[in-house]
């Protein structure tokens, strides 16, 4: 790579800003049918390359896609089935054809840390305790062992280099991780532009200064674990340190994701995401109200026809001596049932769409509001 990774590609790339959500992408120019993976917008504005330091920080590693095309199709078919009455546009073929792999960024930071630290470290030890039994005039003793922890004060000096500590490069970083699940960062490999020359790449939004508060707790955690190991202790608590950081080196890690979409009844794009490593699918589920009404209409027409026949039979019976009351009674029941069934699909779709909407809203909101600390506590 040369000095600027944004421009140094075998095939021409441009930097595009989504007109709807302002997300910035590094886009291979030959791809013409691009949609914004975040909002589904197709309108973009080309951004002139400036000296933006954040964008210039080049990727160091990437995590490769692991999903095969067949697996992708299977996942999408399962998703479609889960919609019950999917919109017409939501076909496996459409979803597969529109599937667009892309990478999203995460910061990696290397740091030299010098710190004084103090903590209470715990050492496991076995204590002996006794149980006695008095049965039939005899004593029986049993010795038990109990694992206990002895806490001792330790302090020291830490001079360590911490490499590749992850930090969010996007505002929605925690939301994505929460919804899509964790990536196995152990499988990352060095970034090679040739491997991603045809892929869309989302560019960082957060500056390194913004991301730093998310790095520090992780470094604290690493230091805590290492100080525990250094003291050869099994436990540690009340860890305090006064760190000084130096030689910070920021790079990017690119994470794989596939996005596709379908159009709902109103023609609105509904985005579906697949985690590029595990294949976990997260998408907006919208059943088709049009299809539900269509079903209802057909049922009502069928009920109407049956009703007409019943009315004719009733008239024939009224003006002749032919006994048709049993047939009339017999026809009234299915008419009633069909009329009832006719209302089920629209009610069901309305209920499903509303509940999915509420669920998605809740998930997204709670993910967006989830702090980094909470995320790591849940996932560590």
Partner 1 sequence: MMNTFPPSDYMQTESAVSGIVVYKPKPPEDHDAVLDFQCPNCTATTAYSTDDGGLTCASCGYHEVPEAERVGTDAEQFEFTVEALAQAVHGWGEERKELVCNNCASHTTLPVSSLTHSCPFCGSNQVVQMKAVQDVLRPRFIIPFATTTDQCRHITSEWLGDSWMLPNELSKLGRSTEYMPIYVPFWTFDARAKADWTAEVAYRRKALNGKYYTAWKRTKGKVRLFFDDVQEIGCQQVDSDLVKQIQPYDLDALVNYKPDFLAGIQAQAYDVPLDTAWDRARHRMRLRTKKECKRKITRRHRNFRMDLDFQEESWRYGLLPLYIAVYYYGKKRYQVLINGQTGEIAGQRPVDMRKVANWIGTLVIPALLLGLLALITVALDVPQGVEGVARALFSAVVIYLVFTAVYTFTLLQKANKLRSGQGVK
- With CA atoms as reference, report the closest residue to 303 among 327, 336, 277: 336
Footprint of partner 1 on 190-229 (CB under 8 A): 226-227, 229
* 133 vs 320, beta carbon nearer partner 1: 133
* 112 vs 363, beta carbon nearer partner 1: 112
130 near partner 1, judged by CB under 8 A? yes
CB of 133 to partner 1, least distance (A): 5
Footprint of partner 1 on 62-101 (CB under 8 A): none
* 32 vs 131, beta carbon nearer partner 1: 131
CB of 185 to partner 1, least distance (A): 22
Please work out the total of residues on this chain that contact partner 1, with binding judged by CB under 8 A.
35
**Contacts for 71-78: CB closer than 8 Å, 24+ residues apart:** 71/279, 72/96, 72/99, 72/258, 72/274, 72/279, 75/274, 75/279, 75/281, 76/260, 76/272, 76/281, 78/281
116 near partner 1, judged by CB under 8 A? yes
319 near partner 1, judged by CB under 8 A? no
Longest distance between any two alpha carbons in the chain, whole Å: 109
* 48 vs 135, beta carbon nearer partner 1: 135
CB of 55 to partner 1, least distance (A): 34
Task: Point out which span in 96-104, 134-142, 168-176, 367-375 binds partner 1 (CB under 8 A).
Answer: 134-142
* Sole binder of partner 1 in the list 128, 194, 318, 326 (CB under 8 A): 128
Footprint of partner 1 on 138-157 (CB under 8 A): 139, 145, 148, 152-157
* Sole binder of partner 1 in the list 134, 186, 209, 380 (CB under 8 A): 134
- With CA atoms as reference, report the closest residue to 299 among 288, 307, 287: 307
d(C-alpha 151, C-alpha 32), whole Å: 64
247 near partner 1, judged by CB under 8 A? no
Residues that bind partner 1 (CB under 8 A): 116, 118, 125-136, 139, 145, 148, 152-161, 226-227, 229-232, 240, 242
């Amino acid at each position: 790579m040369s000095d600027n990774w944004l421009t140094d590609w075998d095939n021409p790339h441009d930097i595009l800003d989504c007109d709807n959500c302002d997300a910035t992408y590094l886009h291979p120019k030959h791809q013409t049918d691009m949609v914004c993976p975040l909002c589904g917008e197709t309108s973009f504005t080309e951004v002139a390359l400036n000296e933006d330091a954040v964008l210039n920080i080049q990727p160091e590693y990437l995590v490769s896609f692991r999903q095969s095309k067949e697996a992708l199709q299977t996942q999408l078919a399962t998703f479609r089935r889960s919609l019950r009455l999917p919109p017409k546009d939501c076909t496996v073929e459409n979803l597969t054809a529109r599937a667009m792999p892309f990478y999203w960024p995460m910061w990696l930071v290397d740091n030299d840390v010098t710190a004084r630290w103090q903590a209470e470290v715990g050492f496991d030890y076995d204590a002996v305790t006794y149980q006695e039994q008095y049965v039939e005039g005899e004593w029986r003793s049993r010795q038990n062992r109990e694992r206990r922890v002895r806490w001792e004060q330790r302090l020291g000096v830490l001079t360590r280099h911490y490499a590749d500590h992850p930090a969010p490069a996007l505002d929605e970083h925690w939301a994505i991780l929460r919804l899509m699940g964790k990536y196995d960062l152990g499988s990352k490999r060095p970034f090679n532009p040739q491997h991603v020359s045809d892929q869309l790449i989302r560019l960082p939004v957060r500056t390194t200064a913004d991301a730093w508060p998310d790095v520090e707790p992780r470094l604290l955690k690493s230091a805590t674990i290492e100080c525990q190991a250094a003291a050869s202790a099994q436990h540690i608590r009340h860890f305090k340190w006064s760190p000084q950081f130096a030689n910070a080196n920021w790079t990017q890690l690119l994470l794989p994701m596939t996005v596709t979409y379908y159009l709902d009844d109103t023609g609105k794009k509904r985005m579906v995401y697949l985690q590029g490593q595990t294949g976990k699918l997260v998408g907006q589920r919208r059943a088709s109200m049009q299809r539900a009404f269509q079903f209802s209409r057909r049922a009502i027409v069928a009920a109407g026809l049956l009703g007409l026949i019943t009315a004719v039979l009733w008239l024939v019976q009224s003006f002749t001596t032919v006994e048709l009351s049993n047939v009339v009674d017999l026809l009234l029941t299915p008419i009633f049932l069909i009329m009832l069934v006719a209302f089920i699909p629209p009610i069901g779709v309305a209920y499903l769409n509303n509940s999915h909407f509420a669920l998605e809203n809740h998930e997204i909101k709670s993910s967006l509001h989830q702090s980094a600390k909470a995320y790591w506590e849940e996932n560590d």
